[in-house]
Amino acid sequence: MHHEMGGACGCGMGHGKHIGVCLKAMFKIMPWKIIMHSEELGLSDDQVEAFRKKHSEARKQMIHIFGQIKANMIDVEDAVMREDIDMPTAEAKIREIGKLKGDKMMAMIQAMQDMREILTPEQRRKIKEMVMSWFKKGGMRGIGMEEGGEGEGEESEE
């Protein structure tokens, strides 16, 4: 049952952060695992290169979004560290940060979809079997993601 493991994927996180951490782990680690096992999965050189390129582009996009989040956080701090808090600015920047975090998550999901489209149905089936065996070996830790690990550009976001 997923309550005992802290999450359906076994990442050890509670329900609140569970989805975000699992998504980040899958995005950060899975492409490299797939590339490392490309021969076993039957990926062509063109597929490996397309996969690598798509992942790199998406990582750059997320790092850019993370930079925007950090810049907005500076504006929030500036608005709050006044004798009279600048509530309109603080509220606008906090809402923008929320939107950017959503944009970042959607960029990850879109990249994952784009990477899947590079693969044949048979390759996706083999990857699914491989992932299931990794999960059986220890949840997200089974694919190399330690509990509490973060994804691209997440060092001190929250």
Q: What is the pLDDT of residues 27-71, one digit of tens each?
A: 777 888 888 999 999 999 999 999 899 999 999 999 999 999 999
Per the domain annotation, does 144 fall within a domain? no
pLDDT in the model for residue 70: 98
Contact of 116 with 88, CB cutoff 8 Å: no
Helix axes 87-118, 15-36, angle to 10 degrees: 40
Contact of 115 with 101, CB cutoff 8 Å: no
pTM: 0.69
- What is the domain count for the chain? 1
Per the domain annotation, does 28 fall within a domain? no
Domain that holds residue 94: 44-118
Per the domain annotation, does 17 fall within a domain? no
Per the domain annotation, does 138 fall within a domain? no
Per the domain annotation, does 77 fall within a domain? yes
CATH number for position 106 = 1.20.120
